[in-house]
Amino acid sequence: MSHTGENLAIEMVKVMDNYGLSEKWLACAGDNASNNDTMTDHIPELVPSHGGQTTRIRCILHVINLVAQAFFRPFESAADVETPKTRTKTRAKAAKKTSNNRKRGAAKQNSQRAPKKRRTLLPDRFEGEEMELDENTHPTTTIPTPTTTTTTTTTASNESDEDSDSSEDEDSSDDGFGLEEVPLTREEAESAALAEDGITDANNVATYRQLVEAAGVSDEDVAAAAEMGGAAVQEQAAEVEKINNKTIKKLGPLSAEEKKTGVFMFKKVKAFATLMKKSDTKSTHLKDCCKHTDTKILKPVTAVKTRWNTIGDAIARHVVLKQAIIRLTTHAKYEKLKLERLIMKTKEWLLAEEVGPYSKVLKDCTVSLSVKNQPLVHQVIPVIDYLTEKFAAAADDDSGQTSLIIRHGAVNGISVLNTYYSKTDDSVMYRVAMNLHPKYKLEYFKAKKWKKKWIREAEKIVREIWARDYLPKVVVKKAVQQPQAPYEFNIGDYAHLTSTVAVPDPITRYLAEPVVNIADPLAYWDGQLKAGLWEYQFVKMAKDYLSAPASSVDVERAFSLSGRIVSPLRSSLSDKHIRMCVLLNSWFTIPGLISEEEFEQTLVEGWRREGKGTGRGNGNGKGKEKENEKTKAKEKGKAKDDGKGKGPKAKPKPKPRGKGKSLDSTLEDDESSAVSGSESDS
């Protein structure tokens, strides 16, 4: 089944139905791929109670990764960008035969064999596809132009022969060969892309290609790209490319020297880490250089193409190892390593150091949001505001203290943040969660100088959801009936004329109270409920929205783990066993859920104990019977030998570890108990 949005919606609803969660489904968190948008649109057609786009949550960690990609885009050459763009050149094409030509030359064509065809591979993104060219295609002289991606061509003129036998050729020349656009070869496309960035010097082009070859494509690059999906990689790259082009129009293009400095610094960092990882000899020499320069011995960080925070990590580590790297790449002692192409120039070192604070901001946000059971949806708006403020300081600095290439990256990052900040308006999840967090409420929006109409809208949304989804379920306590007085007149009979039983408005009361600086809003609301300070339905509303995840990373990790479990040596695992392994792994990541002692007693010892009768080669319990018979025989022999004192006691043989049903049954029992336990807890 293809991963279209409609198919994803159908499968998602099936899963929710299987677990009985369709009618309890509040929100859906996922990455920013376009098919997830389509899926979210289709879900309400299958589950009318679902809010669709109004409860869509976009993965904040994917947004931060996209911000990092946009920030580092100016440090890449156009040749590095993974977009569907195809550069072409113009060349002469063979003339098309007209119907008259074919009629006049029919006899001649029948008597002569068809012209030979030559096969050639279309380069770059069309690699693997073939095209055929007639051998009479006229040769072209290609004149590359460094400022355009299209090349101009010249062709030899064709003269018609007046002889009647060459009438077909004459007619063909009348039709004209014309021009056609064809893709450039990979090398031509790379040269054209570098020319767009002003890198035209032959030595610089050669150095660039050497660095690309040295950096290579790592296994991590391939795995990360495969996990993300080729279409998603290109879709994300295309989005960043549009943003980068707008930034160039806003701030002006980088000079050829600025671009070259950024691109070469970027490539040298990645190439160095790759070479150190591949060669134990080079890595050992790096350690020696660290000792000689009093540098802390650390491994270079390998940057992964689609995990853009790793690029910031790689640059930061390169700066830490600066003195050791300078010695390794420049000292005559290490000349045999041939690392001279990795020598960083002063401008490149300065730029690498300048990048540090901005990549650290992205890294810090990513780490803080990658904690287990985090992030939650109320954290999204504050994180976006924080990153925007940090990047705005660089983007607005026209004093010359901030490099233009850094400013380009900062403007790119802000554009991504603004795009996804505006998308929070499409979903009620963010504003409701912010309002129901005791630390923020409406005060956060006021402090950030939101427009008054935006603040009123945020409050209105909370009130509407309360009135629609939670207020109808509020149980109003009935007044205790007083014993009837033995008189005809009772003052209680007239109470309805002066007062009515009204359900209190918790929203007004809650928003009127001052903010409370707490770290865990869910624990706060649990405490409030236990203390009886708030109506149960109001606390339920707060916990429903504040517990919504802001990222799909935990789920993606589970899927990735499932994929890694299936290997060439474990290719016959059933889906049942894979599910057990993933479940067991998730248990171990929850502190205190399973202790080592409990694991040993319940799983390992149970496995060994039960495995005696179900080991390999035993069937239908016969193995267990044989084992019991052997044990009884040994006990009888031991009883006979007792007291004879013949030699030392023989060491007991280790108990056999059986395989078979025991592990399955043990895991199944624990799986069912864990599931039932989690349900009761919830």
pLDDT digit string (tens) for 264-293? 999 999 999 999 999 999 999 999 999 999
Mean pLDDT of 142-147: 38
Q: Which of 478-482, 642-646, 666-670 has the lowest mean pLDDT?
A: 666-670
Q: Which of 89-103, 121-135, 474-488 has the lowest mean pLDDT?
A: 121-135
Please write the tens of the pLDDT for every residue from 508-530. Answer: 999 999 999 998 999 999 999 99
**Pairing relationship of beta strands 56-58 and 28-30 according to DSSP bridges:** parallel
- Of residues 356 and 181, which shows the higher confidence score? 356
The alpha carbon of residue 415 and the mean position of all alpha carbons in its chain are separated, in whole angstroms, by 19
Mean pLDDT of 523-547: 94
How far is the CA of 257 from the CAs of 183, 253, 262, 344, in angstroms?
29, 11, 9, 15
Residue 234's Cβ-count burial label (10 Å; 0-12, 13-18, 19+) is: middle
Q: Rounded CA gap, 192 and 144, in Å?
A: 8
Q: Rounded CA gap, 526 and 224, in Å?
A: 40
Q: Which of 52-56, 128-132, 224-228, 485-489 has the lowest mean pLDDT?
A: 128-132
pTM higher than 0.85 for the full model?
Answer: no
- Transcribe 313-358 into DSSP letters: HHHHHHHHTHHHHHHHHH-GGGGGG--GGGPPPHHHHHHHHHHHHH
**Pairing relationship of beta strands 88-92 and 179-183 according to DSSP bridges:** antiparallel
Mean pLDDT of the chain, nearest integer: 76
Which residue is associated with the tokens 């949550």? 57
pLDDT of residue 505: 85
pLDDT of residue 205: 86
- Of residues 386 and 223, which shows the higher confidence score? 386
How far is the CA of 378 from the CAs of 383, 440, 508, 535, in angstroms?
10, 9, 20, 22
pLDDT of residue 483: 57
Report phi then psi at 318, rounded to 5. Answer: -60, -40
Residues making up the chain, counted from first to last: 682
pLDDT band for 117, please (50, 70, 90 cuts).
very low
Structure tokens at 442: 């409406």
pLDDT band for 454, please (50, 70, 90 cuts).
very high
On the question of pLDDT at 559 being above 60, the answer is yes
Residue 681's Cβ-count burial label (10 Å; 0-12, 13-18, 19+) is: exposed
On the question of pLDDT at 432 being above 70, the answer is yes
End-to-end CA distance of the chain: 34
pLDDT of residue 371: 73
- Of residues 120 and 443, which shows the higher confidence score? 443
Which residue is associated with the tokens 């606390």? 539
pLDDT band for 166, please (50, 70, 90 cuts).
very low
Cis ω before 648 (30° cut-off from 0): no
- Of residues 499 and 86, which shows the higher confidence score? 86
Q: Which of 122-136, 263-277, 535-549, 597-611 has the lowest mean pLDDT?
A: 122-136
Q: Rounded CA gap, 165 and 142, in Å?
A: 33
pLDDT of residue 77: 86
Judged by DSSP in three states, 477 sits in coil
pLDDT of residue 534: 93
Residue 296's Cβ-count burial label (10 Å; 0-12, 13-18, 19+) is: exposed
On the question of pLDDT at 380 being above 80, the answer is yes
User: Where are the domains positioned within the chain?
Assistant: 1-58, 88-92+113-159+169-183, 191-418, 566-613+655-682
Mean pLDDT of 387-404: 92
Q: Rounded CA gap, 363 and 369, in Å?
A: 10
On the question of pLDDT at 679 being above 50, the answer is no
Mean pLDDT of 413-419: 95
Give 120's strand partners. 131
pLDDT of residue 107: 47
Q: Rounded CA gap, 191 and 214, in Å?
A: 18
pLDDT of residue 598: 73
Q: Rounded CA gap, 253 and 402, in Å?
A: 16
- Of residues 634 and 56, which shows the higher confidence score? 56
Residue 328's Cβ-count burial label (10 Å; 0-12, 13-18, 19+) is: buried
Counting other chains too, the contacts that 504-508 makes at CB distance below 8 Å and 24 or more residues apart are: 504/535, 506/466, 506/534, 506/535, 506/538, 507/462, 507/463, 507/466, 507/538
In terms of phi and psi (left: phi > 0; alpha: psi -120 to 50; beta: otherwise), the region of 199 is beta
CB 187 within 8 A of CB 79: no
High-pLDDT (> 70) share of the chain, %: 66
C-alpha R_g of the chain: 36
pLDDT of residue 421: 95
- Of residues 148 and 33, which shows the higher confidence score? 33
Mean pLDDT of 469-495: 62
Judged by DSSP in three states, 454 sits in helix
pLDDT band for 634, please (50, 70, 90 cuts).
low
Structure tokens at 124: 């770059």
Which residue is associated with the tokens 């730029």? 351
pLDDT of residue 447: 94
Q: Rounded CA gap, 340 and 336, in Å?
A: 10
pLDDT of residue 78: 81
The alpha carbon of residue 93 and the mean position of all alpha carbons in its chain are separated, in whole angstroms, by 44
On the question of pLDDT at 367 being above 90, the answer is no
Give 117's strand partners. 134
- Of residues 508 and 137, which shows the higher confidence score? 508
On the question of pLDDT at 318 being above 90, the answer is yes
Which residue is associated with the tokens 């379920």? 473
pLDDT of residue 628: 55
On the question of pLDDT at 110 being above 60, the answer is no
Q: Which of 575, 441, 453 is nearest to 508 (CA)?
A: 441
pLDDT of residue 327: 95
Q: Which of 204-208, 358-362, 481-485 has the lowest mean pLDDT?
A: 481-485
- Of residues 512 and 116, which shows the higher confidence score? 512
pLDDT of residue 581: 80
Structure tokens at 523: 């624990």
CB 145 within 8 A of CB 128: no
On the question of pLDDT at 569 being above 70, the answer is no
Structure tokens at 299: 């491994």
CB 539 within 8 A of CB 365: no
**Pairing relationship of beta strands 152-155 and 140-143 according to DSSP bridges:** antiparallel
On the question of pLDDT at 492 being above 70, the answer is no
